[in-house]
Amino acid sequence: MKVENVKLGINNSNPVKQQRAYKYSFTGTIPNKAANLNMKEEIKTFMPPIIKGMKKVSDNMGEVQNILINAIGTGLVAPIFIKWNPLSKTDEDTRTYSAWRQPVSAVLAIVTQVGVTIPFNRMIDRLANNGYYDENYNKTLFQDKSYIEKIIKHQYPYATKNQISQMVKQKMTAQQDNLIRMIKEDKIVMNKDNGQTFEMSEKNYRKLQEDVIDSKLADANAELKKCNEITIPKKIQRAEYYRNNTQEAREIFQKLSDKLNGTSAPSEVRKEVKNLKKLHKNKDPELISIFNEILERRGNNTKDLKTAIKAKLDGILRDIDFYTTEHTLTSKEEVVEFVKNWETEKRINPINSEINVLNKMKEMVTKKESMSNIENYLDSVIEQDKGHRLAKFKFSKEISKLLQDRIKNNLKAHKQLTGLRVSLLILPLSCWLLNWTYPKFMDAVFPNLSNKKHPNEIKDLVNKANKQTEVKS
Amino acid sequence: MSIVSPIGNGIKSVNRWFSRLPYVQNTVCSKFQDPKANSAWIAGLGVASIVLKDGFGCYLYVKQSLNNKEIPEDKRKFVAALDLANGGLMILLQVLMTYTISKKVFQEKMFNKMFGKLFNRQSSKSVQAIMESRDHLRGKVKGNQEFHKAFADYKNSAIAALGTLTTLIAATTVGKRILTPFIATPLADKTKEWMCRNDKPAQIHKDTKNTYDTHTPASEKVKEQVCANKLNIVK
């Protein structure tokens, strides 16, 4: 194998016959965006910038970020509290001298610790992509985009940027398809950096299946609990308010809806809602609650805010009609019974059905039944009820996603611990550098503080001393 | 054969050996699988990393400051004393701040106060309505469990980020860089006295004698001296 190939972890030799069955091809197609809606990506556009920033921080948090936060505190905050410390009796010059040590120390910490941690992080990524690690850190079945790009650039040095980008997309899709195919066959075969392959342990594979189902079950149970404890009581309360105050509610919210439709500034409607809230403060608390819900509507710009408020007002007017015109409810008991029955039919029964199916699937996993059996069972359920809550649930795809997330998180943990070890090892060098740089920096920039005389002053002193010697002699 | 290759292989092997340790695989990695639920633990690991480095750094700094001939002798012990007082206090305060700030109750209150409005029911409904108003998303958002999952993912990320950031900032900036120097600087005076308890009076050379006082900055004194010299020349 060529030296360059070894460095990049490119494995051209493929002696194992069995491996061929799992080798991806370049015939994969780029997925149609509309068909495969990526909700995480779509929702991103509509999240406030601060939340997008927080997600970025959360995704990228690691040893480098720890070092940077620490260095910011060291370099920018610490000097202030050393120099202007009213409790210290030490003279100001000495305190200023000590305070300047902090920014110097911060810069050196960034240069040395981050300078070493980043190459180590890159090394870990490369090793994970080329199969050096065990199955818990092995990314050979879903390599990073940058890693694939590097390999393709190396294999096709004359390919254009567009061609490379196309090939990267194709390879990533092919890898994803290949992984799902392996899961469907209950056999996840990972690659090693030396060209060999190994199968993921049965225990870990079954754990992945169980965890996917458990997570889905937890979501369904939480939704069921929320429905019983929050949604139904709230709907009863709201329906009862509409039943008792049909005329008033319709007038208020129709007026607001008309006002919103006639303006491009939703802030005017918000203002009106605030006024109405003050005006009706002694009336039914349910009305105040509805006003608050309108005020809680948000959008990143005027147009989006208008859309959000409009959806709310339309919903209110629809509910008024639903509980008063479409269904005539004459007493509170009728309201309670109607809402409970309606919600049971529309929400609780489908959730219960989902829970039953998931429990059955879990049982099959425990009995170590094949993936095809489990998916066939799920398909048969959906075949009978096209609108089933699990209609869009692709078990093998979810396992693939969980496996990728799990390895990504394992690598994050591994990187953080490696960063800690490496920066501890580099610490003596940082300290030595600080002690070497700090006095030199102070002599050069603040000679008065370091008591170092300026060369001219030293020259004057020497001349003066020489003159005195001459006079004496 | 180049020496780089065996060193590189050695580093890789050590790294893989560490990744296989049962504590790393069973505890550390499993905590990283759910950053929201374990945000306090992950933040604690970050602070532990900084505390470890501070402890080791403190030892090295004190040792080196005491032997650093380039720092003026009359300031050397103060710098070392400040390092020692700083080291001890910063470790203590960082641990204390981490235990306080990373508490789940505190984190939840802080999150709800800062970002609660962005993740309540009305906010979720707003985002759904706005997404539904876009042509390519019409009819695909409302009632889609993927939406709620993605929305919750943003919330969990925000919780994890807030937990880690506030803990780290509280420990490394408030505890270590605001409270520590505030207490450590006067404590350093005492530490210096303790370190000098057996010393003979320092022989300070007249050229490097500290002539500054706390009332007049050194730069002002230099200016005064220059003015006085000029006046003498004029006379």
- Per residue in A148-174, pLDDT tens? 999 999 999 999 999 999 999 999 999
The alpha-carbon gap from A447 to the nearest alpha carbon of chain B, in Å, equals 11
What is the average pLDDT across A79-106?
81
3-state secondary structure chain B: CCCHHHHHHHHHHHHHHHHHCHHHHHHHHHHHCCCCCCHHHHHHHHHHHHHHHHHHHHHHHHHHHHHCCCCCHHHHHHHHHHHHHHHHHHHHHHHHHHHHHCCHHHHHHHHHHHHHHHHCHHHHHHHHHHHHCCHHHCCCCCCCHHHHHHHHHHHHHHHHHHHHHHHHHHHHHHHHHHHHHHHHHHHHHHHHHHHCCCCCCCCCCHHHCCCCCCCCCHHHHHHHHHHHHHHHHHC
Residue B75 has a pLDDT of 72
CB-CB contact of A366 with A242 (8 Å): no
Assess B55–A contact: CB distance below 8 Å, yes or no: no
> Residue A206: pLDDT above 90?
yes
The alpha-carbon gap from A21 to the nearest alpha carbon of chain B, in Å, equals 29
Which comes out higher in pLDDT, residue B92 or A87? B92
Q: How confident is the model at residue A39 (pLDDT cuts 50, 70, 90)?
A: confident
Q: What's the Cα-to-Cα distance from A189 to each of A16, A143, A340, A366, rounded to whole Å?
A: 12, 14, 50, 22
The alpha-carbon gap from B227 to the nearest alpha carbon of chain A, in Å, equals 16
The owner of tokens 């199916």 is A357
Residue A26 has a pLDDT of 40
Assess A78–B contact: CB distance below 8 Å, yes or no: yes
* Range name among A54-58, A447-451, B164-168, B225-229 with the lowest pLDDT average: B225-229
- For the CA atoms of A419, A425, A427, A433, the dihedral, rounded to the nearest 10 degrees, stands at -120
- Chain A hits for B173, CB-CB cut-off 8 Å, are 69, 72-73, 77
Residue B77 has a pLDDT of 77
Task: Determine whether the interchain pair B150/A127 forms a contact, defined as Cβ–Cβ distance below 8 Å.
Answer: no
Which comes out higher in pLDDT, residue A10 or B205? B205
Distance CA B160, CA A198 (A): 35
Task: Determine whether the interchain pair A299/B169 forms a contact, defined as Cβ–Cβ distance below 8 Å.
Answer: no
How high does pLDDT run on average in chain B?
A: 80
Q: Can you tell me whether residue A86 is helix, strand or coil?
A: coil
Task: Determine whether the interchain pair B146/A39 forms a contact, defined as Cβ–Cβ distance below 8 Å.
Answer: yes
Residues 159-198 of B with CB under 8 A from A: 160-162, 164-165, 168-169, 172-173, 176-178, 181-183, 185-186, 188-189
Which comes out higher in pLDDT, residue B94 or B202? B94
CB-CB contact of B182 with A85 (8 Å): yes
Q: How confident is the model at residue B106 (pLDDT cuts 50, 70, 90)?
A: confident
Task: Determine whether the interchain pair B217/A92 forms a contact, defined as Cβ–Cβ distance below 8 Å.
Answer: yes
Residue B207 has a pLDDT of 58
Distance CA A158, CA A163 (A): 10
Which comes out higher in pLDDT, residue B2 or B225? B225
Residue A148 has a pLDDT of 95
Q: Which two tokens stand for residue A296?
A: 């809680």
Which residue among A42, A87, A102 places its CB closest to the CB of B137?
A: A42
Task: Determine whether the interchain pair A69/B165 forms a contact, defined as Cβ–Cβ distance below 8 Å.
Answer: yes
Which comes out higher in pLDDT, residue B136 or B197? B136
Assess B73–A contact: CB distance below 8 Å, yes or no: no
Q: How confident is the model at residue A251 (pLDDT cuts 50, 70, 90)?
A: very high
Distance CA A76, CA A69 (A): 11
- The model's pTM: 0.74
What is the average pLDDT across A442-470?
61
Q: How confident is the model at residue A355 (pLDDT cuts 50, 70, 90)?
A: very high
- Chain A hits for B138, CB-CB cut-off 8 Å, are none
- Per residue in B93-104, pLDDT tens? 888 888 888 888
Which residue among B56, B68, B123 places its CB closest to the CB of A296?
A: B123
- Chain A hits for B160, CB-CB cut-off 8 Å, are 58, 61
Q: Which two tokens stand for residue A118?
A: 């980043």
Residue A432 has a pLDDT of 85
Assess A3–B contact: CB distance below 8 Å, yes or no: no
| Domain residue ranges of chain B, discontinuous segments joined by + | 39-183
What is the average pLDDT across B113-121?
90
- Chain A hits for B158, CB-CB cut-off 8 Å, are 51, 54-55, 58
- Per residue in A111-154, pLDDT tens? 988 898 899 999 999 999 999 999 999 999 999 999 999 999 99
Assess B137–A contact: CB distance below 8 Å, yes or no: yes
Q: Which two tokens stand for residue B193?
A: 């006295």
Q: In sequence order, what are the beta bridge partners of A82?
A: none
- Chain B hits for A93, CB-CB cut-off 8 Å, are 210, 212, 218
- Chain B hits for A46, CB-CB cut-off 8 Å, are 127, 130-131
- Per residue in A187-205, pLDDT tens? 999 999 988 999 999 999 9
The owner of tokens 């639903």 is A322
How high does pLDDT run on average in chain A?
A: 85
Q: Euclidean distance between the first and final Cα of chain A, in Å?
A: 84
Identify the closest residue of chain B to A406 by CA–CA distance.
B33
Identify the closest residue of chain A to B32 by CA–CA distance.
A409
E-assigned strand segments in A274-421: none
* Range name among A62-76, B171-185, B215-229 with the lowest pLDDT average: B215-229
Assess A356–B contact: CB distance below 8 Å, yes or no: no
Q: How confident is the model at residue A101 (pLDDT cuts 50, 70, 90)?
A: confident
Residue A13 has a pLDDT of 42
A198 phi and psi angles, rounded to 5 deg:
-150, 150
- Per residue in A217-242, pLDDT tens? 999 999 999 999 999 999 999 999 99
The alpha-carbon gap from B45 to the nearest alpha carbon of chain A, in Å, equals 9
Task: Determine whether the interchain pair A90/B29 forms a contact, defined as Cβ–Cβ distance below 8 Å.
Answer: no
The alpha-carbon gap from A26 to the nearest alpha carbon of chain B, in Å, equals 29
Residue A22 has a pLDDT of 38
Q: Outline where A367-454 has alpha helix (H).
A: 371-384, 395-445
Residue A468 has a pLDDT of 52
Task: Determine whether the interchain pair A450/B72 forms a contact, defined as Cβ–Cβ distance below 8 Å.
Answer: yes
Q: How confident is the model at residue B3 (pLDDT cuts 50, 70, 90)?
A: low
Q: Which of B1, B5, B32 to mutate to test the interface with A (most CBs of A within 10 A)?
A: B32
Residue A34 has a pLDDT of 39
CB-CB contact of B202 with B150 (8 Å): no
Task: Determine whether the interchain pair B130/A51 forms a contact, defined as Cβ–Cβ distance below 8 Å.
Answer: no
Q: Which two tokens stand for residue B83?
A: 């390092």
Which residue among A89, A124, A136 places its CB closest to the CB of B189?
A: A89
Strand A197-199 vs strand A189-191: parallel, antiparallel, or unpaired? antiparallel
Assess A119–B contact: CB distance below 8 Å, yes or no: no
Task: Determine whether the interchain pair A416/B78 forms a contact, defined as Cβ–Cβ distance below 8 Å.
Answer: no
> Residue A102: pLDDT above 90?
no
Assess A391–B contact: CB distance below 8 Å, yes or no: no
Residue A96 has a pLDDT of 84
Q: Which two tokens stand for residue A417?
A: 């611990």
Q: How confident is the model at residue A7 (pLDDT cuts 50, 70, 90)?
A: very low
- Per residue in B123-146, pLDDT tens? 999 999 999 998 888 888 887 888
Identify the closest residue of chain A to B94 by CA–CA distance.
A70
- Per residue in B18-65, pLDDT tens? 999 999 888 888 888 887 778 788 888 888 888 888 888 888 878 877
Percent of chain A with pLDDT over 90: 54
Residue B220 has a pLDDT of 63
Q: How confident is the model at residue A23 (pLDDT cuts 50, 70, 90)?
A: very low
Q: How confident is the model at residue B233 (pLDDT cuts 50, 70, 90)?
A: low
Assess B226–A contact: CB distance below 8 Å, yes or no: no
Number of Cβ pairs < 8 A linking chain A and chain B: 264
Which residue among A58, A296, A307 places its CB closest to the CB of B120?
A: A296
Residue A353 has a pLDDT of 95
Residue A17 has a pLDDT of 37
